[in-house]
Amino acid sequence: MANVGFIGLGIMGGPIAKRLLDAGNTLVGFNRTRAKADTLIAAGMNWADTPRLVAQFAEITFSMISDAHALGAIARGQDGVLAGLAPGKIYVDMSTVSPTIIRELAPEVRSRGADMLDAPVSGGPPAIAAGTLSFMVGGSAETLKRVEPLFLQIGNKITHMGDNGTAALMKIAINLSLPIQLLAAYEGILLAEKGGIPRERALEAMLNSVAASFAMKYRAPFAFNPPAEVWFNVKMMQKDIQAALELGHASGVPLLTAALSGEMLSAAKALGYAEADFAILYDVLSRLVEK
């Protein structure tokens, strides 16, 4: 068991923090909106008023933040994570962000005598509940060994990608395929529907076909039966696609289908769907057909 800190208690971070708490760790947490932490506080989590206080208390501090700007905000400054680090401590960021911000922060962490891992996850809330999240990890193999027992309290698969930033890069490389897969499936379902096949039957056939991926199986139905709480909205998906396109441009990799999915996500935002689950892309396609 360990003294653990967690910053960012949203739809993913909150349940992950709860697993760490349930495993018997002493947990201190911070979230920009304290009300989101109420359930965890009632379950035994200690509250800290700043990220700095979290890092001062914890041996290992985790964060899961929405974007690079927010990550910089909680990491730097007099009340940031960096200000609370000391020799021997570890900072693990689980956010889906560009590797650039990770490669900037890692040496700043090491200058404090601490070390940093980037450890984004694959799998949504159901995977957290089942303990089947998979981790991609960038950073020192020795530091990973120290954190591995905590990772295995949350998920069941850890892949060490390499140096700091490589895991963040891999997560972007994975996420860029999600809207592409959904758009391809939705085009097929819409084509079937326009040809007279009931939508529900077309969806069933698609999800039982060789074309169905794991991601498609749990997310494609959201187009017709949205989740009560949005897991991954259009705005966040577009953020990941933009990061992928920037990395592709820098690397000389032509991400043609990612660019097209980015245009469709822009169309979704223009239609007022920025906060909707990105499965709303089916509605966007349908509206294009209507025109």
CA distance 279 to 291: 20
CA distance 275 to 268: 10
CA distance 63 to 4: 11
CA distance 108 to 70: 17
**CB neighbour burial string for 141-152, b if at least 16 within 10 angstroms, e if fewer:** eebbebbeebbe
Q: Which of 18, 171, 269, 291 is catalytic?
A: 171
Residue 270: burial class (beta carbons within 10 Å; 0-12, 13-18, 19+): exposed
CA distance 57 to 26: 10
Q: Is 116 helix (H, G, I), strand (E, B) or coil?
A: strand
**Residue 93 pairs with which residues in a beta bridge?**
63, 118
- DSSP run (H or E) holding 227: none
- Cβ atoms of 155 and 121 within 8 Å: the answer is yes
CA distance 218 to 124: 10
Q: Is 171 a catalytic residue?
A: yes
Q: Which residues are catalytic?
A: 171
